[in-house]
């Protein structure tokens, strides 16, 4: 239920979404995790913007990621401004003010809180069937049900079929 893609599908008629790709959390030349190897998600930390774009394209293509997408520059301006690394969620209202500031992931990355905020404003979206499938390493797809660093990369499938009913 915490899947951000599912939240996007549920509320894209009411809210805008923007994914911001920031520097890698677990590149091969820093803190690589076993799950990244298992899932064949092995990248060195990009040294150029072209490398960062290439990884972003790999990600969106591999998971057929449909959310609007932007890429942080090599000065990590977005990461710095929003203290975003490794992953974080915000909601900004129509006046340009922050109305929800999520915690720093993976431990405090909680898509369910975003869902709750949207549900309070636009109504809850109930799901009759929820299907989980093969894990990915995509941080964007991470759920809030993590209990440790080693389990933090256990995710739900980005495009898991879910029947929704408003």
Partner 1 sequence: MKLFLQWFAGVLAVILLAAFGALCYLAGSPKDAYGMVRYALPHMHRGTLQVGSDAPDVRLLALDGINHFHIRERMGTRPLVLVFGSFT
Please, which of residues 81-140 interact with partner 1 by CB under 8 A? Answer: 81-94, 96-101, 104-105, 114, 118, 121, 137-140
CB of 97 to partner 1, least distance (A): 6
d(CA 155, CA 161): 15
Pairing of the two strands 126-129 and 163-165? antiparallel
Position 47 contacts partner 1 (CB under 8 A): no
CB of 139 to partner 1, least distance (A): 4
CB of 37 to partner 1, least distance (A): 10
Position 50 contacts partner 1 (CB under 8 A): yes
Q: Binding segment for partner 1 among 46-54, 123-131, 158-166 (CB under 8 A)? A: 46-54
CB of 1 to partner 1, least distance (A): 16
Contacts 24+ apart (CB under 8 A), 27-32: none
Task: Please name the helix (run of DSSP H) or strand (run of DSSP E) that holds residue 70, with its range, or none.
Answer: strand 69-71
Contact between residue 142 and residue 155 where contact means Cβ atoms under 8 Å apart: yes
- Within 13 A of 46's CA, how many CA atoms are on the CB side? 20
Among 29, 38, 47, 53, interactor with partner 1 by CB under 8 A: 53
């Amino acid at each position: 239920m915490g899947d951000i893609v599912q939240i996007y599908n549920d509320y894209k008629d009411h809210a805008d979404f923007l994914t911001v790709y920031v520097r890698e959390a677990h590149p091969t030349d820093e803190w690589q995790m076993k799950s990244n190897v298992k899932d064949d998600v092995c990248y060195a930390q990009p040294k150029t913007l072209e490398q960062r774009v290439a990884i972003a394209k790999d990600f969106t293509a591999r998971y057929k990621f449909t959310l609007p997408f932007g890429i942080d520059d090599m000065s990590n301006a977005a990461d710095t401004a929003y203290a975003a690394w490794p992953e974080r969620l915000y909601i900004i209202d129509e006046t340009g003010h922050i109305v929800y500031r999520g915690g720093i992931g993976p431990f405090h990355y909680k898509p369910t809180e975003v869902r709750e905020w949207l549900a309070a404003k636009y109504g809850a979206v109930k799901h009759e069937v929820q299907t989980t499938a093969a894990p990915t390493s995509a941080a964007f797809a991470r759920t809030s049900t993590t209990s440790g660093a080693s389990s933090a990369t256990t995710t739900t499938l980005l495009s898991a079929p879910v029947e929704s009913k408003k």
